[in-house]
Amino acid sequence: MSQFESTFGVPDAVTQKTSGLAIASLVCSLILCCPITTIVGPLLGIAALVKIGGNPALKGRGIALAAILMGVVFTAAQTWGGYRMWQVMKPVFKGPNVALTAGFAGDTAAFKAAFHGAGATAGDADVTAFIDELRQRYGAYQSCRYDETARGTRGAFGDPVVPFPYILTFDKAEVRVEAKYVFADEGIGWVQKWGSITVFDPDLGDLTYPPVDKSGGEGPEDVDEDAAEGDPETGDGG
């Protein structure tokens, strides 16, 4: 043993501790409920790497790298999810404005293109009758806005068809409507079109497009043939 070692002793090994920045970066990257934290996480991770690299008493490089990777991935996923959600909900925020604008301009094809089901297959005469009745009652169509004051039955998240309340502005009046938005159809999957529009008018009567079959949906084909033609065994025509 040298005289130096006997006098001063052998230096102890450096005791490392985990970087607090590295731990904080990982925690932030894992808080998925807040998009801001998944951005802060990678930034803290980068700061932790810089600090660890300049201080041999610190460890946690792997934690910081994991935080950076997860934060970037989660931020990208949340950004994409938010964009897709906006694309889904954007027509709902605007309401049936595009359809009504087209209808009042005389473009029945564009009006029906905004609908799914019976609204898309209705005749041009049904569209014209609906638009003409609106024009006669309320004047020229101007705009549509979401009715934040409306109360009533609302659809649940995940329902394929959800009703939304709106206020339509015409040059003679404002009227409240309920427009049902079809998110999906069991037969074909994703849809994102309007199912129907009902205008509420306690004075002149409600209007609905597509027109409702007031007979209850029973056409000639729904009538019991035995009741119509009689029982062939008894000869009772009834």
Considering the entire predicted model, what is its pTM?
0.63
Angle of the 20-30 helix axis to the 35-53 helix axis, nearest 10? 160
**pLDDT at position 230:** 46
* Rg of the chain taking only CA atoms, in angstroms: 33
Name residue 117's amino acid: G
**pLDDT at position 16:** 83
CATH 3.10.450 residue spans of the chain: 95-218
The pLDDT averaged over each successive group of 10 residues in the chain (238 residues) is 48 75 90 85 92 89 92 89 79 91 96 95 96 97 91 66 95 95 87 94 95 54 40 44
**pLDDT at position 113:** 96
**pLDDT at position 218:** 38
The answer to whether residues 34 and 71 touch, using CB atoms and an 8 Å cutoff, is: no
95-218 is classed in which CATH architecture? Roll (3.10)
Distance CA 195, CA 184 (A): 11
Q: Is 83 helix (H, G, I), strand (E, B) or coil?
A: helix
